Amino acid sequence: MTDQFELPSELTIYSAARTHNELLAWASRQVGSGSDIKLSARAVESVDGAGLQLLVSLGQTNESWRLVDASEVFADACRVMGFADWLDAPRFQPDSTREIP
Amino acid sequence: MSRTEDTDEDFIASAMPIFISEAQEQTDAVENYLLELEEQPDNRELLDSLFRCAHTVKGSAGIFGLEPVVEFTHHVETLLDQMRDGRMAFSGEIGTLLLKCNDQIRWLVETSALAREDSAEQQETRAELVRQLRRLTSGQGGGETPREPAATEKPAPLGLKWKISARFGRETFRNGMDPLAVVRYLGEIGQIVSMRCLSEAVPALQDLDPEACYLGFEMEIEAQKERAEIEGAFSFVAEDCEYQILAQESASQKMARAIEELPDTPRIGEILAAVGAVTPERLAEALAAQQKGAADQSAGKPKIGSLLETEIGLAPEVVQAALKKQQKMRDSAAPEEGRYIRVQADRLDAVINLLGELVIASAGAMLKARSSRQTDLIETNLEMNRLIEDIRNSTLSLRMVPVGETFSRFRRVVRDTSASLGKDVNFEIVGGDAELDKSMVEKIADPLMHLVRNSMDHGLETPQERAAAGKPMTGKLVLSAQHETGAILIRIEDDGRGINRERVLERAWTRGLVPQGVVPSDDDINMLIFEAGFSTAEQVTNLSGRGVGMDVVRSNIEALRGTIRLNSRPGKGLRVDIRLPLTLAIIDGFLVGVGKSKFVLPLESVVEVVEAGCGAAKTDSAGRHCIELRGAVLPVVRLRTLYTVESTLPERVSVVVVNSPRGKYGIEVEVLLGQHQTVIKPLGRLFKTLRGISGSSILGSGEVALILDVSSLAELAAMDGAQGARGGSQLSMQAAGIDEPPVSGGA
């Protein structure tokens, strides 16, 4: 059982249906086993509103989810859309070594 | 397929008249708002109303597929929108342009019904107006050259703040759009101050349709941009998005809004505190408890009333009483206005006609009841009469409309006329809320228009002439309305040069209206301007002075049973007084008899009735004499002599004292028959010339009574030589139709 959910590199409308399925399955398993819901956005290279909406929806289901890592692209999208507080979640360390694309 | 098209066409054909009448109302309203805006250019509410009207016209025209209206109105709307954003101030120039545009919209709407072809001339006018509108909206001098971005634009005030809220439709993502991109774009054109994503609508993961969009946002942005540019951010998603862009309000605007948003009804606690049922301290405690309760349970705030009951031990009936009172205040505060139904005027007329017949029939029933001498029957009839009177009054009041609606039309006339004549005019409307029968209002509009134009054209001087005469440069024109006994007085007063009697008299001599060398009284000379074929204007303008009109004005007003009087003070001004009866249908009358003839006096004009001996007092040939009334001399006109009614000399007569615009006078009659609900029937054409009589009425017995018009009767009696009594027609009462009713009505 994976510790955290890796968001795909393409977190957009094109992959939203697939990501949604995977995330839903994973999250319900996590809840079932009593584990934390931790997500990593390290690999995200492109993101759009539909992608962010998935995480909003996750928040509606389970308020205790946390982001543990994020690419600059993803972090930027969060800030733009007013979700900067996701980035401030505890234990989240911004990956400062990553190049800004 | 063709079937649905047919029904569509049917629908449009049947709804079109409604659209046109509503659009006409809207354009009328636009005109009024524009004229009001000229007086108070900073009135934001007026501007908003103006925009709404234009928007409504555009919207409904769109439904009917009237492309020219939609297209043209759109340009007007753009200009109005810019003014609403405060990027352009209202000016006289804009006002004039918008008035012209409004005329054009009105024309387009009206002709859309006739399916008439748009003439090239009209198209050109419209194109020119659009050019002017574009020039204003793009803030540039030349209309044709494409505008350069930002270079010549009026700079917006520094740090303009906008509040944007948007909600995206479900299909946004599937249509390839993205709220994120919109926000990013907005971030590029301005500085985002705050941003909040509206994610409440997003369902939980298991219920989520990952390809549907549930997002929205609210943001504040500082951007030195025009509204249009901000709207541009939404241009691709416009169909899938509801958005609102507001210019951020200043502190004072904020406060005004807060006041506006104050609840109309006091809070329950305030009511209880006001009567001392609870002390302010206890109330504050309870309120705090309420807040806490709200935080604790998500089920919603506990009611303050029940808290006061349980926590403070207030008697339930006290709380109930307070709640009831609050509900009552809320109910009475609920807006009553705006609840109208549209009724076709002829339906209303049909009701009023029927009512007239009912009044006549009930008078007949009353007569029969009286002659039967059955008290019960008389009582029942009296009760019925009372009810009929109530119905009559409320039905007639349905037709009453404020004259102000007609008056405000003149603002435009005065504005345009003064501009074309180069005269400065301050136009005032007084008493626009006085009510008058709708049919009267419609018929009086044209004569009034003519008189107003006449005052502007011939009465008021140019600024130079006024300065030379020691008057203020700006002329004054006052249009007023007020109620008088049983009538409405409409007055048009200017401070112009008045009537030049000498010139009028000269003209009358040369035109043969008055025999050479004869000099009538001042009043009579003034009235000559109402004679057919009279005009003193040195130059014929396109406004008035063609010599037609003034006589038509008088005959129109007289046809409404009205009178017109002039009060001219040479060099100082002219006052035109028009008196009109309030209604054309039914009045309260006072029935009197002379010999076998019956007359009705309007009850409102009757002051008192006095006995006057045997009626043998000497009169002149017109039936005039005087009596003494409480130490004052009262002129009296004897109807029997005035209208040569055949009757034997009665033993005693009565004098009905009436009020007229010329003062009090008496009318000598032989029998008093009391109050009578009088259904006014017009006089037959033969008897139109009969002076002093305004109509006829059918009594319960089937007899015809003539309705006396006290003001024209007074004038008639005051005439020299009193030849006018029988007008030119020399009618005796017998011929005036007592034996044969002039109008049969429905009886």
Task: List chain B residues with CB under 8 Å of A23.
Answer: 205
| Spatial CB neighbours of B707, under 8 Å, sequence gap ≥ 6 | B587, B589, B599, B600, B601, B602, B678, B680, B693, B694, B695, B696, B697
Q: Please indicate whether, in this complex, the C-beta atoms of B180 and A49 are within 8 angstroms of each other.
A: yes
Nearest Cα residue to B709 out of B678, B743, B745: B678
Does B205 contact A49 at a Cβ distance shorter than 8 Å? Answer: no
Q: Say whether A49 and B179 touch across the interface (CB within 8 A).
A: yes
Nearest by CB to residue A61, choosing from B178, B180, B205, is: B205
The reported pLDDT for the residue numbered A92 is 47
> What pLDDT band is residue B550 in, cutting at 50, 70 and 90?
confident
Q: Which residues of B touch A77 (CB under 8 A)?
A: 180
Contacts of A27 (CB under 8 A, 6+ apart): A5, A37, A58, A61, A62, A65, B205
Give residue-wise pLDDT tens across range B398-413: 878 888 878 887 888 8
Distance CA B347, CA B159 (A): 59
Q: What pLDDT does B379 receive?
A: 92
Query: Are B173 and A13 in contact (CB < 8 Å)?
Result: yes
Which chain B residues touch A61 with a CB distance below 8 Å?
204-206
Classify B114 in phi/psi space as left (phi over 0), alpha (psi -120 to 50) or beta.
alpha
CB nearest to B202's CB, from A47, A60, A62: A60
Phi then psi dihedrals of residue B678, to 5 deg: -110, 120
* A60 contacts B203? CB cut-off 8 A: yes
- Tens digit of pLDDT for each residue in B13-50? 777 777 888 888 888 888 888 888 888 887 888 888 88
Residues B308, B314 contacting (CB under 8 angstroms): yes
Residue B201 touches chain A, beta carbons under 8 Å: no
Dist. CA A75–CA A85, nearest whole Å? 10
The answer to whether A56 contacts B183, with C-beta atoms less than 8 Å apart, is no
Residue of A nearest to B212 (CA): A50
Report the chain B residue with the minimal C-alpha distance to residue A76: B184
Residue B20: name the closest of B76, B60, B51, B68 by CA.
B60
Structure tokens at B77: 């709307």
- Between strands B597-602 and B704-708, the pairing is parallel
Q: What CA–CA distance (Å, rounded) separates B219 from B244?
A: 11
Answer yes or no: do A16 and B173 touch at CB < 8 A. yes
- Give the Cα separation of B217 and B197 in Å (integer): 4
CB-closest option in A19, A50, A59 to B173: A50
> pLDDT, tens digit, for every residue of A2-47?
578 888 988 888 888 889 988 888 888 887 777 778 888 888 888 9
Contact check, Cβ <8 Å, B181/A59 = no
pLDDT band at B383 (very low <50, low <70, confident <90, very high): very high
For residue A13, give the chain B residue with the closest CA.
Answer: B211
**Do B41 and B91 meet the contact criterion of CB atoms below 8 Å apart?**
yes
> What is the nearest CA distance from B247 to chain A, expressed in angstroms?
21
Q: In chain A, which residue's Cα lies nearest the Cα of B209?
A: A17
Tell me the chain A residues in contact with residue B211 when contact means C-beta distances shorter than 8 Å.
13, 16-17, 50
pLDDT band for position B506 (50/70/90)?
confident
Cross-chain residue pair A57–B205, CB shorter than 8 Å? yes
> Count of residues for chain B?
747
Give residue B583's pLDDT.
64
Q: Please give, rounded to a whole number of angstroms, the shortest distance from the CA of A98 to a CA of chain B.
A: 22
Per-residue confidence (pLDDT) for residue B118, from 0 to 100: 66
Q: What is the mean pLDDT of residues B580-589?
A: 74
Cβ contacts of A82 on chain B, cutoff 8 Å: 195-197, 217, 219
Here the tokens at position B572 are 């100082």
CA distances from residue B570 to B58, B341, B460 in whole angstroms, order as listed: 50, 50, 12
Mutation site for B-interface testing, chosen from A12, A21, A24, A81 by largest number of B Cβ within 10 Å: A81
CA distance A93 to chain B (A): 24
Which of B164, B168, B177, B180 should one mutate to test binding to chain A, selecting the residue with the greatest count of A CBs within 10 A? B180
Nearest-neighbour CA in chain A from B198: distance (Å): 9
Q: Going by DSSP bridges, is the β-strand pair B487-494/B632-638 parallel, antiparallel, or unpaired? A: unpaired
Interface of A with B in 65-94 (CB under 8 A): 77, 80-83
Residue B657: per-residue pLDDT: 92
Would the CB atoms of A81 and B197 count as touching at under 8 Å?
Answer: yes
- Find the range with the poorest average confidence among A83-97, B265-279, B311-325, B717-731: B717-731
Q: Is the pLDDT of residue B623 over 60?
A: yes
pLDDT-based confidence at residue B422 (cuts at 50, 70, 90): confident
- Residue B74 makes CB contacts below 8 A (sequence gap 6+) with B58
Hey, is the C-beta of A46 within 8 angstroms of any chain B C-beta? no
Which residue among A23, A27, A53 sits closest to B213, beta carbon to beta carbon?
A53
pLDDT at B486: 65
**CA distance readout (Å), B419 to B132, B150, B369, B414, B607:** 20, 36, 66, 8, 48
Instruction: Identify whether the C-beta of residue B413 lies closer than 8 Å to the C-beta of residue B449.
Output: yes
Burial class (CB in 10 A: 0-12, 13-18, 19+), B572: middle
CA distance B300 to chain A (A): 20
Both tokens assigned to B411: 């603002």
Angle at Cα B550 formed by Cα B566 and Cα B27, nearest 5°? Answer: 105
Neighboring chain A residues of B164 at a CB cutoff of 8 Å: none
pLDDT classification of B592: cutoffs 50, 70, 90: very high
For position B724, what pLDDT does the model report? 42
Please list, in sequence order, all residues whose beta carbon lies within 8 angstroms of the beta carbon of residue A34, skipping any fewer than 6 positions away: none
Nearest CA-CA distance, residue B172 and chain A, Å:
10
B696 beta partners:
B681, B706
Q: Within chain B, what is the greatest distance between any pair of CA atoms?
A: 109
Q: How far apart are CA B639 and CA B619, in angstroms?
A: 11
Please provide the average confidence, as pLDDT, over all residues in chain B.
77
Q: Using a CB-CB distance cutoff of 8 angstroms, which residues of chain A are in contact with residue B240?
A: none
* pLDDT at residue B147, as a whole number: 37
Optimal mutation site among B197, B198, B218, B241, interface A, most CBs of chain A within 10 A: B197
The rounded distance, in Å, linking the Cα atoms of B334 and B341 is 18
Provide the pLDDT for residue A28: 83
E strand or H helix at B574, and its extent?
Answer: strand B573-581
CB contact under 8 A, A20 and B196: no
Give the residue with greater pLDDT, B651 vs B606: B606
User: Taking CB atoms and an 8 Å limit, are B205 and A16 in contact across chains?
Assistant: no
User: Cβ contact (<8 Å) for B202 and A23?
Assistant: no
Asked if B199 reaches chain A (Cβ–Cβ under 8 Å), the answer is yes
Inter-chain residue contact A47 with B180, CB threshold 8 Å: yes
Probe site for chain B from A55, A56, A58, A76 (most B CB atoms < 10 A): A56
Provide the 3-class DSSP secondary structure of residue B34: helix
Kindly report the nearest CA distance between residue A99 and chain B, in angstroms. 21
Our CA-based measurement puts residue B238 at a distance from the nearest CA of chain A, in whole angstroms, of: 17
Is B435 a residue whose pLDDT tops 50? yes
| Residue A99 or residue B121, greater confidence | B121
How does pLDDT run across A54-86, given as a tens digit for each residue?
888 888 887 778 888 888 889 888 888 888 888
Chain A hits for B199, CB-CB cut-off 8 Å, are 53, 56, 59-60
CB contact under 8 A, A83 and B211: no
Residues of chain B with Cβ-Cβ distance to A50 below 8 Å are 173, 178, 210-211, 213
The pLDDT tens digits for B127-163 are 888 888 888 777 544 333 333 333 333 344 445 778 8
Instruction: Quickly state the pLDDT bin for B679 (edges 50, 70, 90).
Output: confident
Q: What is the mean pLDDT of residues B564-593?
A: 83
Q: State which residue of chain A sits closest to B175, comparing Cα positions.
A: A13
pLDDT recorded at residue B730 = 35
